Structure 1
Amino acid sequence: LLKPQIALLNIELELKAERDNAEIRLDNVTEYQKIVDAEWSILYNKLDKLHKAGVKVVLSK
């Protein structure tokens, strides 16, 4: 297929407020915002690649 219609992913395509066994200590709101922006950027990049591939349906873990 040149233009896949369905993408089956073995990764999660969502942002979660909590991660298992993860701890981050921040000194200010700016540091927190940088982390949030980086997570959104990663998610948007993945979605953009799917969109450019012509995917219409995404099934993720």
Structure 2
Amino acid sequence: MLLESCSDSTPAEALLCRALSSWLAAPSTKNELYVWSCFLALPAPRVTELRTMLRETVAGA
């Protein structure tokens, strides 16, 4: 659900999606830190929306 929403994302969101894809493909501390740095660069309203999507994605896994 979260990664599917990347097709119509802003450049910052696209960067976050690429970081998430890298982290999911090869979980590591370095990739996790990269995900967080991309996540924190987003505007606050979008962070709230993405956090909700992440919770739903994890709950459905």
Task: Quickly name the TM-score band, shorter chain normalised.
Answer: 0.3 to 0.5
TM-score of the superposition, structure 2-length normalised?
A: 0.36
Q: Which has the larger radius of gyration?
A: 1
TM-score of the superposition, structure 1-length normalised?
A: 0.36
Which of structures 1 and 2 has the larger relative contact order (alpha carbons within 8 angstroms, sep 6+)?
1
Choose between structure 1 and 2: higher strand proportion. 1
Choose between structure 1 and 2: higher helix proportion. 2
